[in-house]
Structure 1
């Protein structure tokens, strides 16, 4: 298969077609459509995560009749074209799908039709067909893209959209007015094509774009060219206008000031946004965001809400705009919360009124009334959702909405969906069914953890366990290279890292600020950073003593101070878990500095538990022993010191430690991680306790 390279020069979209890749795919039209989908989804100006859908039609042999039939392959429900694979598509008999026109009963029949799509399934491994399936099936083209490009939605959401469509594309594009996606919209597309044969695509009012081609490449180029034309038209209008959003009303703070203020504010916002369900946050202060939130038109445009259904499904109907002054001091949590609570209460009341005014007899119960998008002029935009990915995607979608508003305002003026239409999309029974099909959340979902010493060994094992159980984790360690290697093992949106020296108060504060900026706050703090020095009393130096006290004891103390400040600001409780040692309970030779510091860690945890219970902050200790395999502290002098103390060689240490516990078990970093998980994820009514993970050491029994 050969294609000519693109002759069009694109300025506003990314041309990502690689002909060598396409040639390797060959004539497999489904694979070609998946390739096209992935590269379209890689450009967020074209469509955002989960937005839009793509398809192709092929001739296949019917397994029941052995006759050749046309089959449509289309993105399934809930998928994302940027990451689409064969397992995420549905394969349907095109003829059977079109036969559904014979039984369609009109707009009141839309929900029933979705169930009937299953009767047209060709591929038994198909993903559930989406509501947009007939929009592709009722059009005759081999390859079709339905996209949500910012520039095209700006045209679709502009006043006099149909006239603007003709001005940009002449008679080469069709246009249909806003209608909720479904079978009837597919009929409208079919009619528009019949009325205007030869058009290259169709604009969906307030919604998006349909384009097509005989090959995957032709379809791709058609999509890019249509989007490029809309983008160029808008930029010319912006240039003629001279300013966007009415110009700048508020000056942004300097980048470092913005991020510092956001880091201190995020836990407070997170706590308020989590009044019904705990949320995870995301922050952005991009130029696009700042241009909008600092503008004169923000006050007019923000309450209007978004236009494209995919946008407000993820961002809610409108954002909360904070009335805090740009220079507002946010270090006094109590004072700031006093200012924020009324704003959140007003937003929740407004959302409740929106629900009550537009609900149908069969509408699902009202969902969480808290804002998803929160705007702080001069500083940036915060988004909160059930996990980091959803919060980040909500932010990306609102950036798309900003771009749409910018373009529509430059063309004529921006128009949003009528509130009833928006409600009917947000509380559509089919959307509710999709939500109900989502997998059950993991035990630590919606929790944010900070783990010290997470560059390797026990700390990394703890971070791995917390992520596996649903938490997001900030890895901290003094060694950046180790942190980078550790961080690279996690999927996107599950972990971040912060270089942190636990003997330096400023470094600790920076780590917590990083956690707040990345995820919105902190729920679980595990102090796993450590070192071990084994020497007789006469060989133990003041330097040995100080470093153990500073890392293990003072570090724990200052971590607790910072953790409690964040947790109290959130008002969501939390867990503080030091990793101590059996040596804090058991006396042994050549161990005065290490054993004393571990005992101090243990008793500090009890003191903190007694003090912080009123805040629902639980403080519990995990005591490892004999974790040789995979543990960083056993590298070097410590292992030699312990071997000397027991009169054995370093090589004999693993067997020695395994044999001396009651269960005769080797203790690994993963076992310590299980202890941490038990305290944070299972024993949620336990505080002031010690869990020994040592295989059973009678001398270390706490009672």
Structure 2
């Protein structure tokens, strides 16, 4: 037993800021504060509410309105429109219509009849748990420390001991109208309670002001965390059974295994991966309790929905470093998990259950290495990892003071295949055309590269953006993640002529997202010089970047795509000058011609593996181009005997269509070859040059 308490949760409430908010504004403020700390609640988990006096828009009379987080929101990032608003008296009136547990789901539709002021926000299943508690402000959170107590074998006794009788306890029950009635009744019968622990689920707390409710939630969580820290048995999980692999080895194993797993589980839907070797993950996967606790699955419904019935354990042994054996046996390990999941579905299904969903694991635990998670997009994979870390924390706490109890199998199934959950999934928008795809773009900080990144991101891909200009690269990635979210892209500083750096960049792509599906070779330079004045250095620089660089990137793409075994698309951004000779630019033209022919050779080699290789040939893309910012613009202006600011007009008039070519035009061509629109196209060339007869390919 330790005498050391847990790390304190900071009280972030700012009285001066809160004073300028109305009651709904203070509810939102409280919600965002609570949701910002994963020790308090997980992403998308929990909900908050306030009962507020408002003017009825029809009668102009004062009525009590329940403001409660709507379905599918996240209290940490939600805005004011994330709350459902309902007439409290109408919600109370639903009690007379309730026909019992067998008719729980029909009550959800009744919430719509209680909507205040035509608020379109869908109502959460947890609404009754807030409505029927006789207190103005209510918080429901999934704090690890409290769930550790709630998921213990003797949870009710521990609740009394830890909280000194100030919190009630309700055994596990699926959230819904009946649980709301029980929670409200308990709060009514025990006016001295400041909250209730829900068995295996989480915490409800309440108070009469928003600030008091926030502080009560912090106080209860801190009390639980301190008690666990003092009473937990050490070492956690019975101590280590295996030693952690060295950091470089962990990263190398992740880069090797993740594309293999991704390829084998992406037959019906492309998956995106996430890797973490956080200390708490390593403590768990290395422990003697791993094989006992992991099969029990999670307890909290939110944890379970994100992480499935149980994780998959990969039989890696850091002492023997048996990675080859793991890879050789991967098909059978994955197949065994699918068989086990199918058996679970068959055991638990009901006549009206939805069809079985993807039977592959979400969470993959690797002793000595860490954890992989795979989902339909990067954010979902990352959040699944965060949820499983929450579950690890719960298992640590529960097994340290009692015995951990996971969610019973039938209850877990009832949550996973809940008809209301299925209806929510059916309402999800149709996936975008590149959903689940991972794109790697060189020269991504430039004009064409940036436009290409935006086009692919807009269709649902996530990106590895590579560029030699670190400052421009960081600026590009910052702008992209600001618009598309933190999971949209990573940046990799890359010199495409550096073989080791190219290899490392693809390993980074494998660790960050699980592999690569689309590669856009766009890194480039341009030079102009009469052949007699062309130095060997200038010639070699063109060949190094535009020929060798494209070869190195393509070679690593082929290696990674072949390991994934789910095909891929490689697109070269070449040039009109690769087809149409231009005097005074022999080095550039020859290197671009090399690119085009390399692409055709790769198309021959890639076809057997489902790897398509195509080329987009732009011409005179001046706007946003780093190539056109320096000597190349000066040289081309001099060659055409015009001022630099007249150069774009020269190229426009030179084209058959009398149009300028912009980065977005080239990006559209790249997207065509990257997407399934061109699924039957390889070895082809698409000119995006506004028309140039010299560059016709036939």
TM-score, normalization by structure 1: 0.96
Partner secondary structure for residue 561 of structure 1: helix
Structure-to-structure mapping, 1:106-145, within 5 angstroms: 106-145=100-139
Partner of 1:286: 278
Partner of 2:587: 593
Q: Would the aligned equivalents of 2:315 and 2:326 in 1 still touch at CA under 8 Å?
A: no
Q: Would the aligned equivalents of 2:286 and 2:368 in 1 still touch at CA under 8 Å?
A: yes
Pick closer, same or farther for the CA change 1:331–1:599 going to 2, 3 Å: farther
The one of 357, 377, 381 aligned to 2:347: 357
Query: How large is the RMSD of aligned CA atoms in angstroms?
Result: 1.3
Structure-to-structure mapping, 1:471-620, within 5 angstroms: 471-490=461-480, 491-620=485-614
Partner of 1:186: 180
Q: Would the aligned equivalents of 1:447 and 1:470 in 2 still touch at CA under 8 Å?
A: yes
Q: Would the aligned equivalents of 2:87 and 2:114 in 1 still touch at CA under 8 Å?
A: yes
Partner of 1:4: none
**Deviation, structure 1 residue 331:** 8.3
The one of 249, 263, 269 aligned to 1:271: 263
Partner secondary structure for residue 91 of structure 1: strand
Pick closer, same or farther for the CA change 1:610–1:627 going to 2, 3 Å: same
**Deviation, structure 1 residue 60:** 1.0
Output the CA distance in 2 between the equivalents of 1:424 and 1:564. Answer: 43
Pick closer, same or farther for the CA change 1:276–1:12 going to 2, 3 Å: farther
Output the CA distance in 2 between the equivalents of 1:321 and 1:17. Answer: 42
The one of 194, 203, 220 aligned to 1:200: 194
Q: Would the aligned equivalents of 1:90 and 1:123 in 2 still touch at CA under 8 Å?
A: no
**Deviation, structure 1 residue 449:** 0.5
Partner of 1:377: 367
Q: Would the aligned equivalents of 2:242 and 2:317 in 1 still touch at CA under 8 Å?
A: no
Partner secondary structure for residue 105 of structure 2: helix
| Unmatched tracts of structure 2, length 5 or more | none
Output the CA distance in 1 between the equivalents of 2:319 and 2:562. Answer: 23
Output the CA distance in 2 between the equivalents of 1:195 and 1:275. Answer: 54
**Deviation, structure 1 residue 135:** 0.4
Partner of 2:681: 686
Q: Would the aligned equivalents of 1:88 and 1:126 in 2 still touch at CA under 8 Å?
A: no
Q: Does 1:454 align with 2:454?
A: no
Partner of 2:19: 23
**Deviation, structure 1 residue 670:** 1.1
**Deviation, structure 1 residue 341:** 0.7
Q: Would the aligned equivalents of 2:137 and 2:210 in 1 still touch at CA under 8 Å?
A: yes
State how many pairs are aligned.
689
**Deviation, structure 1 residue 19:** 2.5
**Deviation, structure 1 residue 651:** 2.1
Q: Does 1:427 align with 2:423?
A: no
Higher deviation after alignment, 126-135 or 348-357: 126-135
Deviation beyond 6 Å, 4+ runs, structure 1: 328-332
The one of 431, 439, 444 aligned to 2:434: 444
Partner of 2:695: 700
Pick closer, same or farther for the CA change 1:64–1:24 going to 2, 3 Å: closer
Partner of 1:245: 237
**Deviation, structure 1 residue 417:** 1.3
The one of 161, 166, 171 aligned to 2:165: 171
**Deviation, structure 1 residue 328:** 6.6
**Deviation, structure 1 residue 507:** 0.5
Output the CA distance in 1 between the equivalents of 2:234 and 2:673. Answer: 59
**Deviation, structure 1 residue 317:** 0.8
Partner secondary structure for residue 165 of structure 2: helix
The one of 50, 53, 57 aligned to 1:56: 50
Output the CA distance in 2 between the equivalents of 1:375 and 1:244. Answer: 17
Partner secondary structure for residue 81 of structure 1: coil
Higher deviation after alignment, 251-260 or 155-164: 251-260
Output the CA distance in 2 between the equivalents of 1:352 and 1:535. Answer: 67
Q: Would the aligned equivalents of 1:91 and 1:126 in 2 still touch at CA under 8 Å?
A: no
Partner secondary structure for residue 414 of structure 2: helix
The one of 319, 322, 339 aligned to 2:329: 339
**Deviation, structure 1 residue 91:** 0.3
Q: Would the aligned equivalents of 2:142 and 2:201 in 1 still touch at CA under 8 Å?
A: yes
**Deviation, structure 1 residue 324:** 2.3
Partner secondary structure for residue 360 of structure 1: coil
Pick closer, same or farther for the CA change 1:156–1:379 going to 2, 3 Å: same
**Deviation, structure 1 residue 456:** 2.0
Higher deviation after alignment, 189-198 or 227-236: 189-198
**Deviation, structure 1 residue 685:** 1.4
Output the CA distance in 1 between the equivalents of 2:258 and 2:163. Answer: 45
Q: Would the aligned equivalents of 1:463 and 1:473 in 2 still touch at CA under 8 Å?
A: yes
Output the CA distance in 2 between the equivalents of 1:651 and 1:116. Answer: 66
The one of 290, 307, 311 aligned to 1:315: 307
Pick closer, same or farther for the CA change 1:532–1:492 going to 2, 3 Å: same
Structure-to-structure mapping, 1:392-411, within 5 angstroms: 392-411=382-401
Output the CA distance in 1 between the equivalents of 2:335 and 2:319. Answer: 23
